[in-house]
Amino acid sequence: MTDAALSLLPHLSPYDALPEQALDDLLKRIERTRVAAGEPIYTFGETLKGLYVIANGEVAVSDEAGHQVSLLQRENSFAERGLLRDGLAVTSARAVTDSDLICIPADLFHKLRAEHEPFRRFFDRNRSGAVVKSQPDFDLTNVRVDTLMVADPVTCAPTLPIQDAARIMRDRRISCLCVLEADRLAGIVTLRDLSGKALAEGLAPSTPVGQIMTKGPRVLPPTAIGSDVLHLMMEHRLGHLPIVSGGHLVGIVTQTDLTHFQASNAAGFVSDAARAETAQGLADVTARIPNLLVQLVAAGHRHDVVTRMITDIADVVTRRLLALAEQQFGPPPARYVWLACGSQGRQEQTGVSDQDNCLMFEDDLTEAQLAYFEPFAQFVSDGLNACGYVYCPGDMMATNPRWRQPVAVWQDYFKYWIANPSKEAQMLASVMFDLRAIGGDVSLFTGLQVETLKAAAANSIFTAHMATNALAHAPPLGLLKGLATIRSGEHRNTIDMKLNGVVPVVDLGRIYALQGELDVVNTRARLEAAMGQKIISRSGGRDLMDVYDLVAQTRLEHQATQIKLGKSPDNFLAPAQLSPFERSHLRDAFVVIKTMQSALMQGRGVLG
């Protein structure tokens, strides 16, 4: 192997973050090896020599059953999952082409992890999910200024007449203008300046703002935190604080921004929604959810905490709409339960959610009683749509008579799907097994859920079909550094983090729940329960939970970034936007998902 091949380590994460002495020691101890095409590097269950880094060539990684789960190229590393567990290989690796490999001995790998935080964070991220705090405080001490600020604030020249400045602020509904001179911040003029300096002193409308502006205003960099803003504003009685990076204006934070941040918490949303008197009032509440998502992610909350908070708001909005519907149409003529499926049912809503719901009511109703629930369902569904939970494209809503039925009809639905697992039945069952009662009489659903889970678990043909259906969504693994992107269309060169990232784990969790008759519907809760019931091995379950955390967190951070940029959030992430660190671990996460899918396909349900 040439010295040029070894030169890649000092420029590759996380080795580039090591102190000079540690890097020198590493380069002295690494082992260089060349493996011919087709030759094995290690096999499943073998004691690993260390961590491998590809200097040149291609390496195929396969699961215990021999199914290839990834094809790795230059700069990719492998074997870390086994090293992080017990030192035994959890996959097999072989050279596809003649390959030059660097091997970092196992003892040195663990020494570097123990002594150097960047090195540990790099490799532990793949094992423990996204590196975030589990329950951080939701306050200004852990939020960066670039999350709070308004980017690209309105600016003007110092020669702008004060009357024109007043008109701009009125028309744009803002309280200040940043004054630039030669592209540099020269000052700031506020509504208070216009009233206290210009109007009170009787200055002519043509007076330039340069005469009344605050020159050389106090500023902060975008790396500052929210409490820095608050303290500076309190100390100097400021209402506006420009944010400057490299001498250039990049944003501004106002007292109003701080107030909005501190009011952006789930409890406040729940309280406001519970008191809303109209669907429009509820829509005013949910319009603030994107900002809440950004704030929660910026504060370091885990994805499952964020999505639970957002779903809690959707639940309260739904229950408030049910109450408003009862006010409009009168007391319901019979007991009913409103159920949500999809992401709301699983308590996993993000910034992109349509509505998936159904309505169940007691048996033996008259035609007049049945007729009550049609406009009732329409009212609630229309209200949800107005609140941003758009109509389901597949018409999986209580407004569809098929999904607005007595308990007995729902019993027949599930019995038929289990006995006749056609493609449609599998699809419908997948959706309906995520049902969760939101409002009404929950007891109407509880008995049906227990009965259905028992019947489904007892039918091996049905569960086999459902398992096959769960493998329909493959993680995006391909030849280009392990990640396969969408090849054409609007989302070309991106990964669908929902369909090919989160959904495969959701599908696996649902199958485990069916196998164990588990009544929980949240994906993480299903994985935990499946481990507890030994439906999957504890090691396999931990790996799957870790990678689910990583994939779901990456998806949520992508959406938060889009919202901050003023875009509508979606699920399409371009790998090119990620660092090598993030791409490497995302690829490894998809490998684990593929491995667990392979295990399910073979009926093992475990990862060695």
Token look-up 């993480």 returns 524
Please tell me the predicted confidence (pLDDT) of residue 335: 95
- Residue 285 shares a structural domain with residue 238: no
> Cβ distance 422 to 383 under 8 Å?
no
Residue with more model confidence, 523 or 256: 523
Q: Are residues 444 and 512 in the same domain?
A: no
Residues 405 and 427 in one domain: yes
pLDDT score, position 1? 46
Residue 133, domain member (yes or no): no
**CATH number for the domain that contains residue 480:** 1.20.120
10 plus 52 within the same structural domain: yes
Determine, yes or no, domain membership for 246.
yes
Q: How far apart are CA 55 and CA 33, in angstroms?
A: 10
**pLDDT greater than 50 at residue 238:** yes
3-state secondary structure of 102: strand
pLDDT single digits (tens) 374-433:
999 999 999 999 999 999 998 999 999 999 999 999 999 999 999 988 888 888 888 888
Mean pLDDT within 493-512 = 93
Closest CA to 478 of 555, 575, 601, 557: 575
User: Has residue 134 been placed in a domain?
Assistant: no
Classify burial at 221, counting beta carbons within 10 Å of its beta carbon; exposed 0-12, middle 13-18, buried 19 or more: middle
Beta strands in 57-159 (DSSP E): 59-62, 68-72, 77-78, 92-95, 99-105, 150-151, 155-156
What's residue 411's pLDDT? 94
Per-residue pLDDT of 515-569, as tens digits, reads 888 888 999 989 988 998 889 888 888 889 999 999 999 999 999 999 988 899 9
Predicted confidence at residue 124, as pLDDT, reads 65
Q: Is 496 strand, coil or helix?
A: strand
Query: Is residue 141 in a domain?
Result: no
Tens of pLDDT, residues 169-209: 999 989 999 999 988 999 999 999 999 999 999 999 999 99
The pLDDT score that the predictor gives to residue 260 is 66
pLDDT at position 585 over 50: yes
Question: Within a domain: residue 103?
Answer: yes
* Last residue in a domain, options 128, 156, 188: 128
265: confidence class by pLDDT, cuts 50, 70, 90: low
The last residue of one of the domains, among 98, 128, 158, is 128
Q: Which of 511, 509, 499 is nearest to 475 (CA)?
A: 499
pLDDT reported for residue 511:
92
Q: Which carries the bigger pLDDT value, residue 148 or residue 530?
A: 530
Rounded to an integer, the average pLDDT of 466-489 is 82
- Residues whose CB falls within 8 Å of the CB of residue 351, separated by 6 or more in sequence, listed in order: 289, 290, 293, 310, 556, 559, 560, 562, 563, 569
pLDDT class of 68 with cuts at 50, 70, 90: low
**pLDDT band for position 263 (cuts 50, 70, 90):** low
Per-residue model confidence (pLDDT) at position 80: 85
Q: What is the CATH number of the domain that holds 237?
A: 3.10.580.10
Residues 372 and 496 in one domain: no
Q: Is the pLDDT of residue 479 over 90?
A: no
pLDDT band at 262 (very low <50, low <70, confident <90, very high): low
Q: Which of 121-125, 311-315, 380-384, 425-429 has the lowest mean pLDDT?
A: 121-125
Q: How high is the pLDDT of residue 128? A: 39
Closest CA relative to residue 418, chosen from 428, 408, 403, 407: 428
Amino acid 135: pLDDT: 40
pLDDT value for 189? 96
Q: Is 81 in the same domain as 153?
A: no
The rounded mean pLDDT for the chain is: 86
Considering the domain architecture, whether residues 528 and 493 belong to the same structural domain is answered as yes
Statement to judge: residues 154 and 121 lie in one domain: no
User: Using 50, 70 and 90 to split pLDDT, how confident is the model at 140?
Assistant: low
**For the chain, counts of helices (H) and of strands (E):** 24, 21
Q: Counting Cβ atoms within 10 Å, is residue 424 exposed (0-12), middle (13-18) or buried (19+)?
A: exposed
Task: Inform me whether the pLDDT recorded for 23 exceeds 90.
Answer: no
Tell me how far apart the alpha carbons of residues 40 and 446 are, in angstroms, rounded to a whole number.
Answer: 53
Residue 343: which pLDDT band, with cuts at 50, 70 and 90? very high
Predicted local confidence at residue 332, as pLDDT: 96
CATH number of the domain residue 329 falls in: 3.30.460
The pLDDT score that the predictor gives to residue 334 is 95
Q: For residue 136, is it within any domain?
A: no
Where a domain ends, among 466, 485, 511? Answer: 466
- The shares of helix, strand and coil residues in the chain, as percent rounded to the nearest 5, are 50, 15, 30
Q: Report the alpha-carbon distance of residue 126 to residue 549 in Å, rounded.
A: 10
Q: Is 133 helix (H, G, I), strand (E, B) or coil?
A: coil
Confidence category of residue 317, pLDDT binned at 50, 70, 90 = very high
Q: What DSSP letter does each residue of 534-589 carry, written as one string?
A: TSS-HHHHHHHHHHHHHHHHHHHHHHHHHHHTTPPP-SEE-GGGS-HHHHHHHHHH
- The pLDDT-based confidence of 139 (bands split at 50, 70, 90) is low
Containing structural domain, residue 596 = 475-601
Report the b/e string of 52-74 with b at 16+ CB within 10 A. Answer: bbbbbbbbbbbbbeeebbbbbbb
Contact 71, 123 (CB under 8 A): no
Residue range 72-98: mean pLDDT, rounded: 85
Q: Do residues 341 and 235 both lie within one domain? A: no
Length reported for the chain:
608
CB 346 within 8 A of CB 523: yes
- The mean pLDDT value for 319-325 works out to 95
pLDDT of residue 42 exceeding 80, the answer is yes
Please check whether residue 535 lies inside any domain of the structure.
yes
Total count of domains within the chain: 4
Which of 15-24, 90-99, 543-552, 561-570 shows the lowest mean pLDDT across its residues? 15-24
In the predicted structure, residue 154 carries a pLDDT above the cut 50: yes
Q: Residue 18: pLDDT above 60?
A: yes
Same domain for 243 and 273, yes or no, is: no
Q: From 386, 307, 380, select the one nearest 344 (Cα to Cα).
A: 307
Higher pLDDT, 6 or 251: 251
Higher-confidence position of 156 and 601 = 156
User: What percent of the chain is predicted at pLDDT more than 70?
Assistant: 92
Both 297 and 364 in one domain: the answer is yes
pLDDT at residue 299 tops 60: yes
CATH classification of the domain holding 7? 2.60.120.10
Locus of tokens 């569809």: 400
Residue 43 covered by a domain: yes
Domain match, 386 and 281 both: yes
